[in-house]
A and B are shown apart, each in its own frame.
Chain A
Amino acid sequence: MKARFLLCAAMGLFIVAGGFWQPHDPDAVDMTLRHALPSFEHPLGTDHLGRDLASRMMIAGWRTASVVLAVGAIGFVGGSLAGTAAAILGGWREQITLRAAELFIVVPTLIWALTAAAIFGLSPVTAGIALGLAGVGPYALLSNSLTHRVLGQPFVHAARGLGVSSPRLMARHVLPNTLPLIFVYVGSQAGQAVVAYASLAFIGLGSDPSKPDWGSMLFEYRMFVFDHPMLMIWPGLAIVAMTALLNWVFEHRPGS
């Protein structure tokens, strides 16, 4: 357990550091150094415009991490609040909330994000907000069913009998019991968010081509698959590594 969090912290630190410092300017074009092989100067080599691949990967990692943070925060906070509040209020207000949550599930998360990207352009901010808002639905349904389970417990009846108000009941008695379970779900959502953001950037709706993302790099470099396959190997490996690490750290072992 400890090793997992250390590894995750190390990767987080690496990504944050990579967001603020890169060995080269990621957008510096050097036509004399096109498709350079890996060297001490350029650890992963350069691309078709002579840009340093490692620097571009680092910026892209930071952008992906900010999407994951936004998606996790918005989905987690919004969804657990909406689901819990709906369960406590009950009645028609609960029905409306649950129907609204299901509405977001009818159209898959990626399609809502695609729509948002098409309208507002793709950036870590818009993608994070769109994927996060679309993710509120599943969180709300999950926290709603968990809350119903807690609401049946004797200590909740006791608290209600003592005249505890609904917001206080939610904050003191319900959320501390449901949040750890909802948090497990954050892990699998975070992994999916990495893949979803990469897909959005790959599809490229309204994305800014001058800003590197792992997904958009894969789109840009796919044409060099014949002569320079390593260009498309590195961003893909980065997506896989980040998703696998997130899934592994938050992994919900059956029975635990």
Chain B
Amino acid sequence: MTAHIVRIGLRSAASLLAVSALAFLVVAFMPSDPVMIAIRAWNLPVDETTISALRTEWGLDRPFPARYLSWLADFVTGDWGRSFRTGEPVLDEFSSRLPLSLGIGLGGLTLAAFAAIPLGFAAALKPDGVADRLSRLLAITVQAVPAFWLGLVLIWVLGVQLRLISPFSAGIDVMALAGGLVALHSTGMLARVYRRDLIEQTMQPYYRTALAKGLTRRQALWRHGHSSALYALLSAMRSEAGWAIGTTAALEVLFGLPGVSQFLVQSISARDHSVLLAYIMVVAGWMLAMNAGVELAMRRLDPRAAR
């Protein structure tokens, strides 16, 4: 088990390194010159000495690999650069905003996993029953309806018509609404995955043996189908984790919640490349952490799956 954790850790670190190189390359190709932006932002005189002094200070006169390596060394040691716009260290900005974004994304995903299991189970218990139709409808709907528009409609219904929530207030009710919207999409998708795998289990000989032993359909499904279906559900969590980031970003903008994505949006007009780089790294770190967590959980469920 320990060896396995070490291997996953090493692989994640290697992926993170590759993503950082790619992201640094993309951001370095930014058509706008950070020196000119800084000069405009700080009202410095536009002359040769200022420009060359800033270029030397930021190391922009050095070759690309050297710049990348020194950025990487700074990043690993916790120096994520300073934001042009706020003048604060990027790391501080991120650490104050990350709990909100993580709370919405992770909270929504956890909620979805717990909601998807009973829904998917009920759907598999009675194919074409009420729960099955409901879960299918939910899956089709969430694929077509963007979460941020649903959020906007809910602001209108709950905030304007019923006056239950105060929209654009960044209060706890709005955060719960955002988490619920993230959960809704994942619930629809995960419940279908869970149901499909349970139905597949009913074709297996051991399921029929369990029925012959006198177990009810419900008991047989839960005892002999659940862990396999849970495995499929966990595997689907990985792609949902990526989806949750995009949804959280749009919802932060919609509700005006002070999360990392909103910070990125505000910083981007200032062409703040250290914020952009930090954002990509945080997202990649989140995806890799989710992948590693899912893989470990799947391994606990099925030790044979060790590749």
Contacts and interface: CB of A to CB of B under 8 A. Distances in A.
Interface of A: 99, 102-103, 105-111, 114-116, 118-120, 191, 195-196, 198-199, 202-206, 218-219, 222, 225-226, 229, 232-233, 235-236, 239-240, 243-244, 247
Interface in B102-158: 140, 143-146, 148-149, 152-153, 155-156
Contact of A114 (B22, B140, B148, B249): B249
Interface stretch (B50-58, B68-76, B79-87, B239-247): B239-247
Contacts of A103: 15, 18-19, 22
A249 to B, nearest CB: 13
Q: 7 closest Cβ contacts across the A-B interface?
A: A108-B242, A110-B246, A236-B149, A244-B144, A243-B144, A118-B268, A199-B250
Contact of B268 (A108, A206, A232): A206
23 contacts: A99-B18, A103-B15, A103-B22, A110-B245, A110-B246, A111-B246, A118-B264, A119-B30, A119-B31, A191-B143, A195-B146, A202-B146, A202-B254, A203-B250, A203-B265, A204-B253, A205-B268, A218-B149, A218-B152, A219-B253, A222-B155, A225-B167, A239-B149
B106 to A, nearest CB: 15
A211 B217 CA distance: 57
A115 B253 contact: no
B152 A198 contact: no
Interface in B267-284: 268, 276, 279-280, 283-284
B148 A204 contact: no
A114 B292 CA distance: 25
A106 B284 contact: yes
Nearest to B18: A103
Contacts of A115: 23, 26-27, 276, 280
A218 B249 CA distance: 15
Contacts of A110: 242, 245-246, 249
B288 to A, nearest CB: 6
B42 interface: no
B2 to A, nearest CB: 24
A238 to B, nearest CB: 10
Interface in B23-47: 23, 26-27, 29-31
B287 interface: yes
A120 B148 contact: no
Given A195-B144, A236-B152, 14 more contacts: A103-B15, A107-B19, A114-B264, A116-B26, A118-B276, A119-B276, A196-B246, A199-B249, A202-B253, A219-B253, A225-B155, A239-B149, A243-B143, A247-B144
A226 B26 contact: no
Contacts of A239: 145-146, 149
A204 to B, nearest CB: 7
Contact of B146 (A120, A226, A229, A236): A236
Given A107-B280, A203-B250, A225 B245 contact: no
Contacts of B261: 203
Contact of B148 (A111, A218, A226, A244): A218
Contacts of A203: 249-250, 253, 261, 265
B164 interface: no
B170 interface: no
A246 to B, nearest CB: 9
Contact of B27 (A108, A119, A218, A219): A119
A118 B31 CA distance: 11
A189 B18 CA distance: 26
